[in-house]
Amino acid sequence: MISLKSEEEIGIMREAGQKLARVMNKLRSEVKPGVKTKDLDILARKLIKEEDGKPNFLGYNNFPAAICTSINEVIVHGVPSDYQLKEGDIISLDGGLEWKGFHSDMAITVPVGKISLETQRLLRVTRKSLKLAIKKVRPGNRIGDIGNTIQRYVESQGFGIVRELCGHGIGRNLHEEPQVLNYGKRHKGEKLREGMVICIEPMVTMGNWRIIQGKDGFSYVTSDGSLSAHFEHMVAVTKEGSEVLTELK
């Protein structure tokens, strides 16, 4: 069942989204060669606490950290560790916090030092696919319009779009209905209504879009070892269209 949020509830989620956006912006600035991913997690916990939030990823389905740190071929749910970032890596930082009983969730993929031109293009295409998808969020459109927009753009650029993972609704629970697929057909799927809040999160691969479970039991990686990028925003469906709640105002 899809939960529609009141203006007051969306106001709280806006606050949660802004708090998380500030945390992620600070984490982004700490990504550099030599940094251990577990140190990024330690910093994330500190920053979330400073925002008076709770790290909603920590303990969720037994996940052992406050953020996911997914490197190179790891698509999502990478576990922070002693791994030291290297020049040329890319890292997806996916995090969330709870504020006044409501959740926020967002992800960014960050280059570590200098990366190749094709890897830059992977990040640029993934980011743009999210931007194009957000433009489809308005009352009366459907979930399929979002997924179709992402899929058509990503595939037109020669990249793969992950099909076995998806975005989701969000509110008092971190994951709610509906599922927000990154592929699909226009005019199909759940109709968007004012008061819905969804997380749109394209996951794009440089090679094959199929995935396998990582050795840590939490992460998912590309089946062919190709690089993957991931961007996510939390978006409210408004009377006029949409509002990105995790974009710094």
Distance, in Å, from the CA atom of 201 to the CA atom of 91, rounded to the nearest integer, reads: 15
Sequence ranges of the domains in the chain: 7-244
pLDDT of 249 above 90? no
Phi, psi of 202 (to 5 degrees): -60, 135
Rama region for 72: left / alpha / beta (φ>0; ψ in -120 to 50; rest): left
pLDDT digits (tens, 9 = 90+) for 39-64: 999 999 999 999 999 999 999 999 99
pLDDT digits (tens, 9 = 90+) for 174-186: 999 999 999 999 9
Residue type at 172 in one-letter notation: R
pLDDT digits (tens, 9 = 90+) for 61-85: 999 999 999 999 999 999 999 999 9
Distance, in Å, from the CA atom of 248 to the CA atom of 177, rounded to the nearest integer, reads: 25
Distance, in Å, from the CA atom of 25 to the CA atom of 31, rounded to the nearest integer, reads: 11
- CATH code, residues 7-244: 3.90.230.10
Q: Are 177 and 192 in contact (CB under 8 A)?
A: no
Average pLDDT, the chain: 98
Q: Are 13 and 236 in contact (CB under 8 A)?
A: yes
| Three-state secondary-structure class, residue 89 | coil
**Euclidean distance between the first and the last CA atom of the chain, given in angstroms as a whole number:** 31
In terms of DSSP bridges, do strands 233-237 and 211-213 run parallel, antiparallel, or are they unpaired? unpaired
Q: What is the pTM of this model?
A: 0.97
Looking up tokens 């974009």 gives 247
What strands, in cross-sheet order, belong to the sheet with 67-71?
Answer: 67-71, 90-99, 102-111
Structure confidence at residue 248 as a pLDDT band (50, 70, 90):
very high
Structure confidence at residue 198 as a pLDDT band (50, 70, 90):
very high
